[in-house]
Structure 1
């Protein structure tokens, strides 16, 4: 009979949980949930070796462990730092963490163009969320923004290198999902860019997933460019019979029209199951799919607001600050009392 593995206790923003040895601080925070979860622009759980590049997940470790209670001298990347027994971490409650995250956000926006009004990623962009929370009104840099010439990487994917933050998610996805990768990071330093060798087009049954893993608008779907704002569409869970993938996807619909097809993602924007190119582009018609019902968007987003879904026990403030809308749960209790 094998011995039971002892779990480590970790406290994040005053909330305690137990995790298995080898768990990172970020995954421990996700186990707790809520606003104590650090943001992540490069970490992507389904992709091996992801993380450690963007530094948006920096946290303060105020207590290393029970054995060595000394605080860590510097902020650490929560996606790459393992949990120790008795560790105490500060995320929201740390001024140093918030200042560092604000600085990282400013750094990411140094070269990023302010084209949210025309970007297809607007409304589901992680950098847009960070910019809204930690961004400043104007840049402090005096240099011109880095720009790149447009590059054609195929008929289905649009590469907008000016928006890229070099998180390398797309490269890792191509490495781990396909047998042959045609693109990667070329050059070094401030000249680094995502590109294909000799302008070769991407060609593989699963390369469309690089669109889903991109946290910004650097890689977008050509077939749905400028078709509709994401908050004007309704995400629907759907499935089909496919011999290449599970056939489980999300249809983004406007009326009866399928604007685009994506993989199903969790509250952190990470794909639950990869889908093939055939499901993504060859089946953009309702007749190919079995519609299962509306897709609940877990992460805070404009996609979830003013739509068909609302949390049953979530009170909504009205125009009158003294008034309060009765939730569905309260209404049900009132009916029972009658």
Structure 2
């Protein structure tokens, strides 16, 4: 099928979603995704961050769709025309989505371990606004330990359901989920059960914010001060393909390998994640490929780092140059003292 996204036409297989088609073109066209996770079946359709405008439904029926549609669950049709970054309605809607996601999300990036690799940070940086209209008190929850290695910060959760789908699809028995409804909804375990299985650590990797954190890594370092390298080992439970995060000569964290969209393709076991923290446990393949637009590349690529358009545009609109013709009479007493 032929589909046109932001004036770029490509051919895709039947059954391809708009999101998947846009990703085939590249990151400059692909909509943001907070809940969609390609390796997880049925994910998507929760956050509405990927809404796009379909200006022509198909070749047979070229009428535009009346409302914005979620690109992660909408399949393309022959001759479909989609507008993403070139449509003002889409961009304005995303500002509202960011504001909605941040209604209860605490502004604790300076102490959050997810800072620097947080999808909500990236989403807000690219599509958010600098001011907030809310004055009401935010919903707050107590921090909860979900087993020996995972801590839940429900204050930061955006209910993307990724961790629920992960537990459903790669573990034998899920013991956590979304409890209650509406503004009372929260991620929780039932009957106070801890999450304890060989692949439970993967819910940390799939969380797009800092709601699920690794207790063995908490407050140890900032991600932009670490050195990620690709490594593997012989493991009878998983593929053994991981990313090791070094601080000097010390392995302070082990995660699954992620693609350019921040998605883990091969989930790893808890033995590899939590127990193998020595270089001698691994065969090192080489440095990880890090996007130059990522904060993880700080102090690694220097002046070649790509600067996002939003902060530059914001600075141009909201900051004024200093007027050098101001009255400087207030400086006279200082001159006399000199």
TM-score by length of 1: 0.88
CA deviations over 1:140-191 (Å, ceiling 9, x no partner): 1232101112222112011000000000000000000001011110000000
Q: Which of 256, 269, 276 is the matching residue for 1:276?
A: 269
Q: Which of 27, 30, 44 is the matching residue for 2:23?
A: 30
Q: Which of 36, 41, 44 is the matching residue for 1:48?
A: 41
Determine the C-alpha separation between the residues in 2 that align with 1:149 and 1:278.
28
Determine the C-alpha separation between the residues in 1 that align with 2:194 and 2:165.
18
Match of 2:13 in 1: 20
Determine the C-alpha separation between the residues in 1 that align with 2:112 and 2:144.
17
Say if 2:58 is the partner of 1:65: yes
Q: Which of 158, 169, 180 is the matching residue for 1:176?
A: 169
Contact 2:153 2:212 in 1 (8 A): yes
Q: How does 1:1-338 map to 2 (within 5 A)?
A: 8-298=1-291, 300-307=293-300
Determine the C-alpha separation between the residues in 2 that align with 1:316 and 1:24.
28
Determine the C-alpha separation between the residues in 1 that align with 2:209 and 2:137.
21
Deviation at 1:138, TM superposition (A): 3.0
Aligned length: 307
Deviation at 1:35, TM superposition (A): 1.2
Structure whose CA Rg is larger:
2
Match of 2:315 in 1: none
- Unpaired runs of 5+ residues, structure 2, are 308-338
Contact 1:267 1:299 in 2 (8 A): no
Name the Cα RMSD after superposition.
Answer: 1.6
Deviation at 1:305, TM superposition (A): 3.2
Which has the higher mean CA deviation after the structures are superposed, 238-247 or 142-151? Answer: 142-151
CA deviations over 1:222-262 (Å, ceiling 9, x no partner): 00101000000010000111000011100000111001000
Deviation at 1:316, TM superposition (A): 8.7
CA deviations over 1:6-60 (Å, ceiling 9, x no partner): xx10111111110011100000000001311000000000000000000000000
